[in-house]
Amino acid sequence: MTATAPPVKDGAPADERLLRTSPLRALLGRPELGSVVGAVAVFLFFSIVADGFLRASSFGTVLYAASTIGIMAVPVALLMIGGEFDLSAGVMVTSSALISSMFSYRMTANVWVGVLVSLLVTLAVGVFNGVMLTRTKLPSFIITLGTFLMLTGLNLGLTKLISGTVSTKTIADMEGFSSARTLFASQFSLGGLDVKVTILWWFGLVALATWILLRTRFGNWIFAVGGGADAARAVGVPVRATKIGLYAGVAFCAWVSGQHLLFSFDVVQSGEGVGNELIYIIAAVIGGCLITGGYGSAIGSAVGAFIFGMTSKGIVYAEWNPDWFKFFLGAMLLLATLLNAWVRKRAEATK
């Protein structure tokens, strides 16, 4: 026997779950709308004030600068949607590169052995953050600040202990270096445009994260946990596993970024990465993620990273003093946050 829906009487309100959403309302509800408007404004601004900004070579440079931030902004955005932070993300990138370099050099092993060891250790750091957070119930700010300080000390202390200096030794002549460099730091020409492989990593991660958020159960869990962990737990969401998984995602992308750092420059400085975690968070916030969690998108983080790339390189092409970059970045953060808040209120008002 087939069940049929009860008839709707004339004038009776239909089930709101079956109501169609207008394209305008759907557009206003997108978290990245404010960042897209901001990106268009930044693009037009530097197109006017910087003569070389619209050149194909300049666009490739902007995309590369955006990708180096965007690779990390994607998992940081997902983590923020889940209601947490990771202040160790910047130095974790450097730790990943240092582990690969020093393990390969000291063990005289194939470079790929060091790369895989680095992956395991970096993932372990991410899982450690997640486990400590869920077990201690301390704020993620405190947990990851502690990890940040520990990694900063280990990066410097172990590098000086093993290498005798604050930087690693060259591994460019070791077996496997060429193939690893192809995967993490190569460059190829596409229609006359020089494209760094990090751009492909970035686009791929954005596509994967978007699919996870919009098409998978895990994506629903992320939004639920960020909206309210207790309420999510009450309806059966595995809050602990979800948060640990998000921190593991940050660690994986830190590993990718670290390998790019190593195989692009061969030598890694142990003090690099400090402060980058704030840039990743800024890119996510500019892209529409809320500090309070439960709202945001991976596409928005990509737009935020693209704004970062346009600004950092646009200032150079405009021949301005680069010391002003942080001022512009801070101003964009405030303006984007205000614009995102206005767009969100407009979206809620149309419901």
Domain ranges of the chain: 35-170+197-342
- Cα 87 off chain centre by: 13
Instruction: State the pLDDT at residue 18.
Output: 44
End-to-end CA distance of the chain: 37
Instruction: State the pLDDT at residue 304.
Output: 92
Phi-psi region of 20 (alpha: psi -120 to 50; beta: other; left: phi over 0): beta
Phi-psi region of 206 (alpha: psi -120 to 50; beta: other; left: phi over 0): alpha
Instruction: State the pLDDT at residue 348.
Output: 63
Residue 351 to residue 220: CA distance in whole angstroms: 21
Token output for 172:
């460019």
Per-residue confidence in pLDDT tens, the chain, 351 aa? 444 444 544 544 444 434 466 666 666 667 778 788 888 988 999 999 988 898 888 889 999 999 999 999 999 999 999 999 999 999 999 999 999 999 999 888 899 999 999 999 999 999 999 999 999 999 999 999 999 999 999 999 999 998 889 999 999 999 999 999 999 999 988 777 888 999 999 999 999 999 999 999 999 999 999 999 999 999 999 999 999 999 999 999 999 999 999 999 999 999 999 999 999 999 999 888 988 899 899 999 999 999 999 988 999 898 888 888 888 878 877 887 787 777 767 666 665
Report whether CATH 1.10.3470 matches the domain 35-170+197-342. yes
Cβ burial of 337 (10 Å; 0-12, 13-18, 19+) is middle
